[in-house]
Amino acid sequence: MVHSAEAQAPSFPELLRFKRVQAGLTQRTLADLSTISPRTIRALESGRVNARMQTVRLLADALGLEGLARELFVTAGLGSGGPAPVGADPCLSVPKSVNALLGRDVEVRALVGALESDHRRLISLSGLAGVGKSRVAAETAARLSSRRGWPVLWIGAGAVAPGGHGAVFGPLLRSLRLLVESGAQDVSAVCRLIGRHEVLLVLDGVADARDPFGVEELLAYCPGIRVVSTSRAAWNIAGVQGTVLAPLAVPGPDWEAAGSLEVLAGVPSVRLLVDRLSEVRPGFVLGRADAGAAVRLCRTLDGLPAALEAAAARCGVLSLRRLADMPASELLELPAAARPAGVPGTIGCPIRSGVERLDPAARALLWELADLDKPLTVCEASDALDRPLNRVVEDLSALTGGGFVRAAHEETETRLHLPNLVRAVLA
């Protein structure tokens, strides 16, 4: 069965009756205060008639409703019949991308499944800068909103344009932003506003700047809320499901063995590169002459989506083979394809910034691992670095959670691998 936020929310007749009783008013007293007849108020509370806009506003005035409580009351009244007010789209606050999300269907389906179940209500999505955490979170939110009807409350680390979230959820989003960013909003008031409604709260990059306030309380007192947090480092909080988003898969040895362009076109990193290339060079089709260059470029860039998009943008003036011949250190200086105000301008800048933010012990371990000339298992790294295994494992948690080190889980061991771009930053 599909549960929607609308199915759980009180109807306007119920809300009107609740607010009237809460204010200590009889129907006749409310009629006198609002200049609406007692007969109309009885009809509204019984659900026999739908409220007009002027009627709802007069009732809100008489009940003394202000701010968010007033806006939610008005929204409920106008939603009791006829078309929904502007901004009532439950997915309105989710950022809309100009192009398709490619190669992430497995990850999105897994996140949707986890959030639809009652077992996981808090997911921390972490990974290397440019891996596409925000895009995956947005796609997950859009699918859940479409399938379940859940309103999506999206709070990003940057400023929000006035009115950018619509008339319905804007006030609640402002209250949530005050709560999670500074603790300036009373958490109990926000909990009462959300109540038992099923909603999805996305904290996009908020945890990179500070530990969000009030999230544990929201989860404890609002049984219908689900939370997704995106950040460069894994977010450690009780009950969280930590998910490290890996870069897109790159062509493996099986492609060299098969030599099939059809096989190559199905590799997620190649698919993204070719798609973005076709935006810069309309009509571009990957042929055998460029196949080897595409493979080398995807491998050098570790399948990192932001890096692949930056490389594709450069193909307006450079050939694919010329880009593939560049070392990782030069590719790091490619301008990022999308650069919001205040965000570093190259694909290497946020990776360098992430390294600098690491705990000193984790950063020291990363430098030591970079000096080793081959991938090692965790135990081999402990022996080679002459460090206690437990200490190595503890420091590795921060490195793997941030995508600086990838852990390949084999049958009996876990093998560590440093991405090419991380090595280039450390060189």
Q: Which pTM does this prediction carry?
A: 0.76
Please, which residues have CB within 8 angstroms of residue 163's CB and are 6 or more apart in sequence?
170
SS (H, E, C) the chain: CCCCHHHHCCCHHHHHHHHHHHCCCCHHHHHHHHCCCHHHHHHHHHCCCCCCHHHHHHHHHHCCCCHHHHHHHHHHHHCCCCCCCCCCCCCCCCCCCCCCCCCCHHHHHHHHHHHHCCCCCEEEEECCCCCCHHHHHHHHHHHHHHHHCCCEEEEECCCCCCCCCHHHHHHHHHHHHHHHHHCCCCHHHHHHHHCCCCEEEEEECHHHHCCCCCHHHHHHHCCCEEEEEEECCCCCCCCCEEEECCCCCCCCHHHHHHCCHHHHHCCHHHHHHHHHHHHHCCCCCCCHHHHHHHHHHHHHCCCCHHHHHHHHHHCCCCCHHHHHHCCHHHHCCCECCCCCCCCCCECHHHHHHHHHHCCHHHHHHHHHHHHCCCCEEHHHHHHHHCCCHHHHHHHHHHHHHCCCCEEEECCCCEEEECCHHHHHHHC
Which of 108, 114, 96 is closest to 137 using CA atoms?
108
91 — pLDDT class (breaks 50, 70, 90)? low
| CATH number given to 5-78 | 1.10.260.40
pLDDT bucket at 347, cuts 50 / 70 / 90: very high
Amino acid sitting at position 40: T
* Domain 105-244 indexed as CATH 3.40.50: yes
Q: What confidence tier does 190 reach under pLDDT thresholds 50, 70, 90?
A: confident
- Whether residue 131 contacts residue 351, with contact meaning beta carbons closer than 8 Å, is answered with no
What percentage of the chain exceeds 70 in pLDDT?
85
Listed by start position, the domains of the chain span 5-78, 105-244, 253-331, 358-426
| pLDDT at 92 > cutoff 90 | no
* pLDDT single digits (tens) 208-219: 767 778 888 888
Confidence of residue 25 (pLDDT cuts 50, 70, 90): very high
- CATH topology (fold) of 358-426: Arc Repressor Mutant, subunit A (1.10.10)
Residue 417 is predicted with a pLDDT of 93
Q: What's the pLDDT tens digit per position in 28-74?
A: 999 999 999 999 999 999 988 888 888 999 999 999 886 556 767 88
Per-residue pLDDT averaged across 405-411, rounded?
87
pLDDT at 161 over 80: no
Task: Write the pLDDT tens digit of every residue in 366-405.
Answer: 999 999 878 889 999 999 989 899 999 999 999 999 999 9
Whether the per-residue pLDDT at 164 is higher than 70: the answer is no
Give CA–CA dist 321/315, Å, rounded: 10
Mean pLDDT of all residues belonging to the chain: 84
